[in-house]
Every structure is written in structure tokens, then in C-alpha cells.
Amino acid sequence: MISNSKSKPFFTLSASVFALLGSLTISTIAIADDQVTLEAYKTASNTAGTLTKSGAVSFSGKKITIPTFAVEPGKPDTTFEVHGKVNPTILVPASSQLKFELTNMDGGMPHGLVVTTKAPPYEQVPHLGRSDRDDNHEAGLIASTGLSGPADGKTTVIHVRQTKWFKLLPGTYYYVCPVPGHAHKGMYGKIIAK
Ligand SMILES: [Cu+2]
């Protein structure tokens, strides 16, 4: 049910790997348009999509980029923000091409974003599925930004991590932070494809 072509195996985050994170330099994707100014990105995120009466953020079009913050300043800890809303439900047309862009605004804490069929509740180390078999539609994991290192607060240029382009068939999906404990605390939201 999911178009998930030629993805690399998802980096499964275990507790022991998490322990190593402090010593890792998490590289950003080395293409030019991944570096944008913070102000430009804030504008992009806060105006992305259309707010619906129910509080969901609706997107339209054939190719949809969803700019997402991890812990936008002034918002609660351990949350995502899209359109200035905390963990909003995201509405997208089925079969549009989709891509999440994640920037981590949280000082001192890595975050990531995984698109998955796996529904909450999530455990401390969340099981978000695997993508090691492209033909395994039960695997659950659709796309991932990988981990985004903490904001350093010293620069106005930020690094944006992206998923690849992907498509969803009609249904309900979730965007979830894979860092242990975060989804358990509520760092996730719903995606509805129609
Ligand atoms: Cu997180």
C-alpha cells in the first residue's frame, strides 16, 4: 500500500546507539538548499499549508513539502510544530508526492522525524517499522529524515533534514520522533491521506 522505492535501511535507534549520540557529529545533507536562514524557515513553516476549523493543517498540490520544526522556540518541549501548531494532524491528498523537512530548534537535544503506519501508544524505544524490504508493506516505515543534531543557537543559518519524496495511499499514518522517550512523551502527530 505504500510507495517506498529503493530506500536505504532505516537506522534503527537502540538505547546503546542513543548513548553514543553525544559523541557523534550528526552531519547535514550537503546540498546547497538545505541551508536556509532561520527567519526564512520560520516563515516557511508558519505559513505552510492551510489551517482547518478542526485545527488540522491541510496541504494540496502534486508535490508537497511540509516544513516542520522540532521544538519551535516558545512551544512545549518534545513536540513538532507545523504551521505554528503543536503536533497537528496533517491532511494531504493521496498519491501526491510528499516530503517532510525537519529543522531542530531544540538546544542540546537531537530529534528526527519518521513517517510510519505504526499507531500510538509508543514505547520508550518506539517500534516504528522497518524498511529493509521494499516489497514488505507491513513493514510500517515509509520515510525518515534521520537524526537532526541540536540547534547551537549561534547562527542564523540552519540545516534542514529532509525525507525523500514519498506517496501515501488513502489512510492514516503518523509522523513520529524516533529518539527514545520522545514519542512516548507525545512527540508525534497524525497524517491523513485522502
Ligand atoms: Cu525528538
Distance, CA of 133 to CA of 158 (rounded, Å): 33
How far is Cα of residue 25 from the mean position of the Cα atoms in its chain? 20
- What count of residues does the chain have? 194
Higher pLDDT, 148 or 16: 148
Distance 73 CA to ligand 1 centre (A): 14
- At residue 12, the pLDDT reads 39
Give the HSE-up count for residue 79: Cα atoms under 13 Å, Cβ half-sphere.
14
Distance 77 CA to ligand 1 centre (A): 9
Distance 111 CA to ligand 1 centre (A): 4
Query: For residue range 73-88, what is the model confidence (pLDDT) as tens digits?
Result: 889 999 999 999 999 9
**Which of 7-16, 129-138, 141-150 is predicted least confidently?**
7-16
Distance 133 CA to ligand 1 centre (A): 26
Higher pLDDT, 148 or 157: 148
Q: Would you say 186 and 87 are in contact if contact means Cβ atoms under 8 Å apart?
A: yes
Distance 178 CA to ligand 1 centre (A): 7
Q: Cis omega before residue 121 (within 30°)?
A: yes
Higher pLDDT, 17 or 164: 164
Q: Would you say 179 and 112 are in contact if contact means Cβ atoms under 8 Å apart?
A: yes
**Which of 2-11, 92-101, 126-135, 184-193 is predicted least confidently?**
2-11
- The amino acid that residue 115 corresponds to is V
Distance 38 CA to ligand 1 centre (A): 19
Please tell me the CATH superfamily of domain 2-21+29-193, with its number. Answer: Cupredoxins -  blue copper proteins (2.60.40.420)
Query: For residue range 29-80, what is the model confidence (pLDDT) as tens digits?
Result: 323 345 566 777 777 777 789 999 999 999 999 999 999 999 988 899 999 9
The set of cell numbers assigned to 49 is: 499549508
Distance 67 CA to ligand 1 centre (A): 16
Query: For residue range 90-141, what is the model confidence (pLDDT) as tens digits?
Result: 999 998 999 999 988 887 788 999 999 999 999 999 888 875 544 444 468 8
* Residue 175 clears pLDDT 50, i.e. is over it: yes
Distance 146 CA to ligand 1 centre (A): 11
* pTM, 2 dp: 0.77
Distance 180 CA to ligand 1 centre (A): 8
Q: How is the chain split into domains, by residue range?
A: 2-21+29-193
- At residue 72, the pLDDT reads 86
- At residue 46, the pLDDT reads 77
- At residue 148, the pLDDT reads 83
- SS3 of the chain: the string is CEECCCCCCCCCCCHHHHHHHHHCCCCCCCCHHHEEEHHHHHHHHHHCCEECCCCCEECCCCEEEEEEEECCCCCCCCCEEECCEECCCEEECCCCEEEEEEEECCECCCEEEEEECCCCCCCCCCCCCECCCCCCCCCEEEEEEEEECCECCCCCEEECEECCCEEECCEEEEEECCCCCCCCCCCEEEEEEC
Distance 115 CA to ligand 1 centre (A): 13
